[in-house]
Amino acid sequence: MAADHRERSGATGASISLVARKSCKQKIFLLLTAAISAKDLLVSRRFDPDHTDRAILRLIQRDAALSLADIAKEVGLTPTPCWKRIRKMEQEGVITGRVVLLDPEKVGLGVSVFVAIETGDHSAPWIESFATTVAKMPEIVECWRLGGDVDYLLRVVVPDMQAFDTFYRRLTAQVPALRKVTSRFAMERVKSTTALPI
């Protein structure tokens, strides 16, 4: 009788253990399913401009001063839904700002120089220091980190050669570990646009 009771108790314990393992597995499965669903939700919520959105973007890339009524008319919408689309693209970071473009020669900045930089230091502190220095130099209007034999390419705008020489001395004095700095002066601007081909 006692042996039979122990057998039944052992069977009951094994059943409880099996149920516990199944419950644990179910919880893990549910957690994984929830995580995958959340990831899928983030992917599905990624903004994808449709044909009308792209038409709006083409218009305001060419002329950001267009009125809402003019934009809406061009894309076949009324002003309110057109405004909602523009607002949505601003919130999604598709539209990052609206600016006025200047003629560099007419504001006394007719010399453009492309400066290629090779560095002997690729550590995180150097990269951070370089980015901080570049951000403080208004003459640098573009800075690209590149793959290949050149590490960085800068586009610099200045009034004349003397101004560039002053800039060059300041740059090389403030940025350590420069292995090679090569400057190429633009002779003619054949094409320049800020409009993306969407």
Question: What would be the CATH architecture of the domain defined by 105-185?
Answer: 2-Layer Sandwich (3.30)
Mean pLDDT of the chain: 86
Residue 9 has a pLDDT of: 52
Break the chain into its structural domains and give their ranges.
11-43, 51-91, 105-185
Q: Judging by beta carbons within 10 Å of its beta carbon (0-12, 13-18, 19+), is residue 47 exposed, middle or buried?
A: exposed
Residue whose token pair is 């006394």: 108
pLDDT, greater one: 46 or 134: 134
**Residue 47: pLDDT band with limits 50, 70, 90:** confident
Joined tokens for residue 153: 């390419």
Residue 46 has a pLDDT of: 77
DSSP annotation of 92 reads T
Residue 171: Cβ within 10 Å count: 20
Residue 13 has a pLDDT of: 53
Q: What is the topology classification, in CATH, of domain 51-91? A: Arc Repressor Mutant, subunit A (1.10.10)
